[in-house]
Amino acid sequence: MHRILSALIALSFVGTGAAFAQSDAIAQRKQSMKDVGAATRDPGQMLQGRQPFDLAKVKASLQVYVDSAQKMPGLYPPGTEQGGDTSASAKVWQSKADFDARFAQWGSASRAALTAITDEASFKAEFPKIMQACGACHEVYREKK
């Protein structure tokens, strides 16, 4: 009897652990997307002329993109397709190689922009390309609400 009870308790922890891991991955990717959104505010306002150009803020934003692009593919493991109020489309898991490649491309472009953007003119030329890559992924892999 003790063995059966112990086995049932152990199985309940495994199930709870899997559900926690699922919600944790979803929570982490949602937070990462929020971080990217927050990092985009200042450069977005600079592009619109609502805020003066500030190279340090642009570089800080680009570093957030580089870091997020590196960790984000790992935050979409199998089993996290639903739950946690996720906005991820099922296409993420159907086309995982393309999805991961888009993050790699965005990260690479962001990393290159860290050195390419040196002044306001180069910022205005390069930053929209980074945002276009980001938005293109959302068009395919994010559910519209």
- At 108 the pLDDT is 94
- At 128 the pLDDT is 95
Hey, what are 46's tokens? 């600079």
In the predicted model, residues of the chain with pLDDT beneath 50 are 2, 5-21
Return the closest-CA partner of residue 22 out of 66, 89, 71, 85: 85
Domain ranges of the chain: 2-141
Check if CATH label 3.40.50.300 holds for domain 2-141. Answer: no
Phi, psi of 79 (to 5 degrees): 100, -5
- At 137 the pLDDT is 87
Rounded Cα gap, residues 86 and 73, in angstroms: 15
- At 23 the pLDDT is 62
- At 125 the pLDDT is 97
Return the closest-CA partner of residue 40 out of 131, 141, 143, 132: 131
- At 86 the pLDDT is 86
SS3 50: coil
Question: Are 65 and 37 within 8 A, CB to CB?
Answer: no
Rounded Cα gap, residues 76 and 99, in angstroms: 10
